[in-house]
Amino acid sequence: MLAHAASSTTPNGDFRALAICRGLGREAASNIMAVSSLQKKAAGETIFWEGDAADSVFEVVSGTLRLHKLLPDGRRQVTGFLSAGHLVGLAPEGTWVYTAEAITDVSLCRYRRSAFERLIDTVPGFARRILTVTSHELQVAQDQMLLLGRKTAAERVASFLLLLADQQGTDDISVPMGRNDIADYLGLTVETVCRTLTQLRRNELIDLPTHGRVVIRDRDQLDHLAAGGTDLDS
C-alpha cells in the first residue's frame, strides 16, 4: 500500500534529510516530495522485476535491498546491496535492468518517473544532485568489476566486509544478507565464503559473534589483505 510521503519519511520530518533532496532548499525539497509516496515491503518481497517498465524511482529510507540479474542459463549474479540513502531505479532506457528485492523489511520513498523527470528541468540544483548520485553508482560498479576480475577469494571477502563497515560507519557490522547472497555478489561458492570467513576469524581479523553480525578486530590487516598485500594462514 502507498501513502503520501509526510513526516514518516524521516524521523524529524525534514525532507531535505533524504539523499535525493540533500543540499537543496526547502521549496525545492517540497516540490520533489509532492510527487512522492511512501512504500513499505516485507523481507522477501520484490520491488520490481528486470525487464519491466521503469515507471518509478525509489530511495531506500530504511532496510536493505538486493539487486540481481539472471544469466541466460538461470544463474544469478547479485550486483549490489542498497541501504538507507541509496537511489534505485534510474533506468535511462525505460525498463529496469535488474530485479530489486527486500532482504529485510524496507521503507522506500517512491517518485513517479514522469514527474521526477520534469523536476530535473525545473528544480534548481536537482539535475546536479542526480549526477552526483549516478556518479557514485558508476564508481560502485567499477569497484565490483575489479572485485570480480582481479581479486582472490580472501581479498573479495575482506573488501566486502570493509565496504559494509564504511557504509555503516562502524566495525561492528550488521550483515543482513545470507551467505548465498554474498557468494553470488562476490562470484564465489557458498562453501568458499564460509571457509574464508572462518579463516579470517582464525587469523583474528574478525569475530563472528552471532548470525548476521561481523566484528572487525584488525582493520589494518583486513585493509592490507583486501589490497592484495598478504595471505591468510590456513
- Residue spans per domain, the chain: 2-147, 151-226
What pLDDT, on the 0 to 100 scale, is given for residue 17? Answer: 64
For residue 184, with 0-12 CB atoms within 10 Å meaning exposed, 13-18 middle and 19 or more buried, which class applies? buried
Which one has a higher pLDDT value, 221 or 120? 221
pLDDT of residue 223: 93
Average model confidence (pLDDT) across the chain: 84
Task: Indicate the range of 26-35, 45-54, 140-149 predicted with least confidence.
Answer: 140-149
Q: How far apart are CA 111 and CA 151, in angstroms?
A: 37
What confidence score (pLDDT) does residue 234 get?
60
pLDDT tens string 203-222 = 999 999 998 999 999 999 99
pLDDT given for residue 15 in this prediction: 55
Q: Higher-confidence residue: 116 or 154?
A: 154
pLDDT score, position 227: 87
pLDDT band at 155 (very low <50, low <70, confident <90, very high): very high
pTM of structure: 0.82
103-to-19, 27, 59, 67, 100 alpha-carbon distances in Å: 21, 34, 15, 10, 10
Minimum mean pLDDT range among 80-84, 178-182, 189-193: 80-84
Minimal CA–CA distance to 194: which of 174, 165, 214?
A: 214
Question: Count of alpha carbons within 13 Å of 165, Cβ hemisphere only?
Answer: 18
- Say what percent of the chain tops pLDDT 70: 89
Domain topology for 2-147: Jelly Rolls (2.60.120)
* CATH 1.10.10.10 for domain 151-226: yes
∠49-50-52 over CA atoms, to 5°? 70
